[in-house]
Structure 1
Amino acid sequence: MIAVPSDDPVHALVPHTLKEPLLGATTGPLAGLTFMVKDLFAIKGRKVSNGNPSFYEHASPAHATAPVIERLLASGASCTGVTICDEFFYSVLGSNAHYGQPVNVRAPKHVTGGSSCGSAAAVAAKMCDFALGSDTGGSIRVPASFSGLYGLRPTFGRIAMEGVTPMAPSYDTVGFLARKAELFRNVGRVLLEGARVEATIERLILAKDFFLHAEASADQALWRALDRIGGALPEPEREEIAGQEIDEWRNAFRLIQGFEIQSTLLPFIQSHDTQLGPGVKERFEAAAGITYREAEEARHVRAHIKEKLDALARPGTLIVLPTTPTLPPERGIPDGASFAEFRNHTLAYTCLSGHSGLPQISIPAAEAAGCPIGLSFIGWHGGDEALLDLAVRLEPLLTKAG
């Protein structure tokens, strides 16, 4: 008997969550499983808030359910909740000034990461089997790393964005989170569409600059994890990926994302005098001031980045790097000036897949100071299934050692 949760021990759900489950088919590859969705997916007859009560107040009920949800229902999974996200998805912290901060059961004194924070909290707390979120600048990969979960940002365009609130459309993707690799792969098989490019993994590039600039405790734990799984992977070739250009890469993402927001979220905020939480308010103000020329210059930088990463990530080649450069910050950190350094450092690591459109998986690989740490593999265009298979292959090695 599928039912919605009667309580919410980790504060993962929005006040307007489901009262009755959306029941999946009685048969299918995901039959009997449950999932929850980030508060930006359309569900017929219901409204989304995008993490802001004012938006929810003015929104109209959806005329149709997002196709990505329909695919899961048709595969047998039932939707049992709508989860909290960072306000208008404009954060990687995992805190909402209006709805609160979900609890990270894997590290209760620390944040879940965001913006798909409620989805990560719910999966980690076993409130559901898996969850949907979105990833524009790291919103699946960061909470996956901080919450000890598997998370996939797919090849750009391989999961339908129809019925999902846009933020920065040239970066937006639907992603998903799960605790176990086999289930994670099964969900991916249901959701992934479009061109699949099969290749045997024969080359592994270790992004030495990204390991070098990671927090020492995280870096050391991930090196130990790499030692444990080394026999299952090609001998790594150490290469510098971004080098001195990394600040330019991150800034290009900031400028393009902010310029695209001028056409998606900003019009509502400005026309309704929307009250925004600290940090988010300042980022929207900065986004409003980005010029067309700045965005165009950033797009030229992005084209250079894409060309470079595409040349590296040929079919059969993976790039390995820490998912995040730091352990999760402690709860209570204000989303303001003190958060800026963490945000900038994190976006420098997560912008690679966004700029290139390449798929990236975060796997729960290690732990330091009581906090989970994710290890990421960036694959080739259409190589999502190879990443899912890799997760299944590596899980027993990491579980046995951990």
Structure 2
Amino acid sequence: MDHFTVSSPFVWQPAPTVVPAEQASTPALNAVNDSVNSLSGLRVAVKDLFAIEGTATTAGNPHWLATHPLAQTTASAVSKLVSAGAEVAGKTITDELAYSLNGQNIHYGTPQNPLTPERLPGGSSSGSAVAVSAGLADIGLGTDTGGSIRVPASYNALYGMRPTHGRISTDGLVALAPGFDTIGVMTKSLDVLERSMSCLFDSPVTDTPALTSLVVYQKAVDNSEQASAANQWLASLPIARQAGDFSQLEQLPLAEAFRVLQGREIWQ
């Protein structure tokens, strides 16, 4: 079976409704909390790993779709965005079972990269990234286990954030590797990114104790694509210092450890 490109990043979209103003009532899916209405007027594209009450979840795989019932509840991450005023634009294509960074799906198609149609959109939150990049949504809700927010964000010229693991509840999410799965968003503007992430956090951000020292593993910095900028930033911090013998760290198979541990969780 060959991969194919599709023009729409959505696998499901809510049916449009026209309600007379005098009879208007807010649908449950798009209920607005007037006290916290920071996302009013914004559309959110939801990666098809999140449950939305009354809809199916494909997880990018037809067999998963055929063997799982319609959702009876809505994932808490989706509910939080909706409660803040966002409107669900639809559920979006994901790489099969979210296990890829390419953005390709052999069953539902590869969402076309709006900026460079001949190139991959990046995955596995491909559909959500494409929806935002194409102007079909303002917020792309996705997941990041090993880069699935950061990669499609970079491929589609978006801001993307993978917060600390466990910072946002994964309730109602089809898991890939629970020990690494993290919910995040992609947007065109930092303002929308900040507002949407603030709505998703399970608890308010509080002040943290001031750092008194920061030990830097210089080789890790030097090997990054942003080495120059990172070194300039570190040089400006009086608390940053190079200390101790880090030679043993160079021998640690960190990438291999991540691959094995992630793979074990996926298999389970």
| Band of TM-score, shorter chain | 0.7 to 0.9
Paired residues for 1:245-324 under 5 Å: 245=251, 248-263=253-268
Amino acid at match of 1:261: I
Query: Which of 79, 86, 90 in structure 2 is aligned with 1:70?
Result: 79
SS in 1 for 2:90: strand
Residue 25 of structure 2 is aligned to residue 19 of structure 1: no
Q: Who wins on radius of gyration, i.e. which is larger? A: 2
Is the CA contact 2:6–2:110 (under 8 Å) kept in the aligned structure 1?
Answer: no
Relative to structure 1, the CA distance from residue 20 to residue 59 in structure 2 (aligned partners, 3 Å threshold; closer, same or farther) is farther
1:257-279 deviations in Å (ceiling 9; x for gaps): 2211233xxxxxxxxxxxxxxxx
Deviation at 1:11, TM superposition (A): 2.9
- Give 1:132's match in structure 2, choosing from 131, 141, 145: 141
2:164 to 155, 161, 183: 155
Quote the sequence identity (%).
36
Q: CA RMSD in A?
A: 3.1
In structure 2, the partner of 1:196 is 205
Aligned match of 1:95: 104
Distance 2:77 2:137 in 1: 17
8 A Cα contact 1:206 1:238, kept in partner: yes
- Is the CA contact 2:43–2:138 (under 8 Å) kept in the aligned structure 1? yes
Aligned mates of 2:113, 2:215 — CA distance in 1: 32
Q: Does 16-25 or 193-202 show the bigger shift?
A: 193-202
Q: Per the alignment, do residues 49 and 253 of structure 1 end up closer, same or farther by CA in structure 2, a change over 3 Å counting?
A: same
Give the 3 Å change call, closer, same or farther, for CA 243–148 of structure 1 in structure 2: farther
- Distance change in 2, residues 1:90/1:150 (3 Å): same
User: What is the TM-score with the length of structure 1 in the denominator?
Assistant: 0.54
Shift in Å, 1:156: 1.6
* Match for residue 62 of structure 2 among 46, 49, 53: 53
- Partners in 2 of 1:122 and 1:75 — Cα distance? 20
Shift of 1:195: 6.6
SS at match of 1:160: coil
Q: Deviations over 1:309-347 (max 9, x none)?
A: xxxxxxxxxxxxxxxxxxxxxxxxxxxxxxxxxxxxxxx
8 Å CA contact retained: 1:178, 1:184? yes
State the number of aligned residues: 244
TM-score, normalization by structure 2: 0.79
Task: Give the secondary-structure state (helix, strand or coil) at the position aligned to 1:94.
Answer: coil
Q: What is the identity, as a one-letter code, of the residue corresponding to 1:44?
A: E
For 1:43, the equivalent position in structure 2 comes to 52
Distance 2:39 2:167 in 1: 19
The 1:145/1:211 distance shift into structure 2, 3 A limit, reads: farther
For structure 1, list consecutive stretches of 5 or more residues without a partner in the other structure.
1-7, 264-402
Matched, 1:235 2:241: no
Distance 2:65 2:83 in 1: 28
Following superposition, the deviation at residue 90 of structure 1 comes to 0.8
1:244 match: 250
Q: Provide the rounded CA distance (Å) in 1 between the counterparts of 2:153 and 2:96.
A: 19
* Contact kept in structure 2, 1:84 and 1:102, CA below 8 Å: yes
CA contact 1:29–1:75 (8 Å) conserved in 2: yes
Q: 1:119 to 1:209 in 2, by over 3 A?
A: farther
Pick the structure with more helix per residue: 1
Preserved contact between residue 47 and residue 62 of structure 1 (Cα < 8 Å): yes
Deviation at 1:17, TM superposition (A): 3.8
